[in-house]
Amino acid sequence: MKTERVKTADISHDPGNTRTHDARNIESIAASLRRFGQQKPIVVNADGVVIAGNGTLAAARKLGWSEVAVVRTGLDGVDAAAYAIADNRTAELAAWDDDALAKTLAALQNDDSIDELVTGFSEQEIADMIGKTAGDVEEDEVPEPPADPVTQPGDLWLFGAYWECEDCGKRYDYEEGKTMEECPCG
């Protein structure tokens, strides 16, 4: 792979891009680019059409950048379209480690130079994430008992078709009619 610097005017967005970027998303990408610079290249085809990195190109233009780093790919047609989808979808399929994310976001809050746009998480999302801990448990709502219950104290409910001797572990079918006192071990 060879990375090269290319004028933003010489590359174009994919007209068939299946991924959308709203203003907040572009602003977050721009904040990341402003803070960290471009840390990964945009993938373009031989004609300079973006295969992966349409949001990065939009954010770079928003920042007034005249050049970006690109990698040219030989993929075209269905392969380019499938790669563009896979590039986005595989990232979506990953999951966050909520505890590790909460700890990292809490640590970043102590640095005034990191704002919410840089991470892409809103202040409320960050507060909610930090407010949760691994030990937090949402209690189930316990319903009131029915006015006319089906069962009464002392009722015995059988789940399964056997009983097991506590001493020897042998199982007996209820249909056999044996009681615990009739087990040969006892």
Look up residue 146 and give its two tokens.
């029915």
Q: Which helix (H) or strand (E) holds 36?
A: helix 23-36
pLDDT band, residue 86 (cuts 50/70/90):
very high
Tens digit of pLDDT for each residue in 35-62? 999 999 999 999 999 999 999 999 999 9
What's the half-sphere exposure (Cβ side, CA atoms, 13 Å) at 35? 15
Domains and CATH numbers, the chain: 3-94 (3.90.1530.10), 96-134 (no CATH), 156-186 (no CATH)
- Which two three-digit tokens encode residue 155? 């009722």
- The mean pLDDT of 108-123, rounded to a whole number, is 78
Among 20-34, 71-85, 88-102, 143-157, where is mean pLDDT lowest? 143-157
